[in-house]
Amino acid sequence: MFDRSHDHYMRQALAEAQKSAEADEVPVGALVVRAGLVIGRAHNQVELLKDPTAHAEMIAITQAAAAVGDWRLTETTLYVTKEPCPMCAGAIVLARIPTVVFGVPDPLRGGAVSVFTILNHPQLNHRPEVVQGVLEAECREMLQASSGSGVGRRRRVFRSRTEDGDPPLCAYQPGEQRQHHHQFGIAKIVLDHAVKQQPEHDEQPATAPRRPDADRSARTARPALRRPPTTPSKTV
């Protein structure tokens, strides 16, 4: 039996996933909760930021670490609508998050329990508690509802096993038009493109710089040896 608070926070994660769907991103949302307060809230922004690491879990973890001022997110719970991928599962372990709650499993590339059991691997020094299946129907519907739009766009397929074993396809297509929402205010991603100014061609120095070994060779040069003049020998 699930804790009712899990449903409450998972619905907030679903609201984040809806923002991803509206921006033609993979519809996944995530929350980090500590002592009843949401300290991290994000959705997928991979297509917007052109960043393969901009998953909802990664951004939410970054926000939470900035909120508490520590990379160790002890006494927190991560809520995510879809099972974390291997990258996000590794970040969860490194952040020492004690509890992970997700909605729908990912039997293709799940990094928690479905394919890669990173969160329960015996060789790792941290193994969080995993709660799965919270609002699973709503989370799956969110993924399936994003399919069928944007004909001709790049398609990605999410497969989930049903009770009778048939793997229904759920395709979601990131599109051209993308919107970014900053709703939490703790951490904000800013893309700065620094342009280094190159010196003009006419700003060359008047004289070419001397080689550093030039003065040394001048100081250490040995004078050429001169032979004493020879006098003709007298014959007796």
- Residue 113: which of 82, 140, 159, 144 has the closest Cα? 82
Look up 129 and say whether it is catalytic. Answer: no
Do 106 and 132 contact (CB within 8 A), yes or no? no
Distance CA 16, CA 140 (A): 14
Beta-bridged to residue 30, according to DSSP, are: 42, 80
Query: Out of 16, 25, 47, 57, which one is annotated catalytic?
Result: 57
Distance CA 9, CA 31 (A): 7
Report H helices in the chain: 4-22, 46-49, 56-68, 86-94, 136-145, 212-220
Distances 160 to 27, 147, 163, 197, 211 between C-alpha atoms, Å: 15, 14, 10, 52, 69
DSSP single-letter state for residue 146:
T
Q: Which residues are catalytic?
A: 57
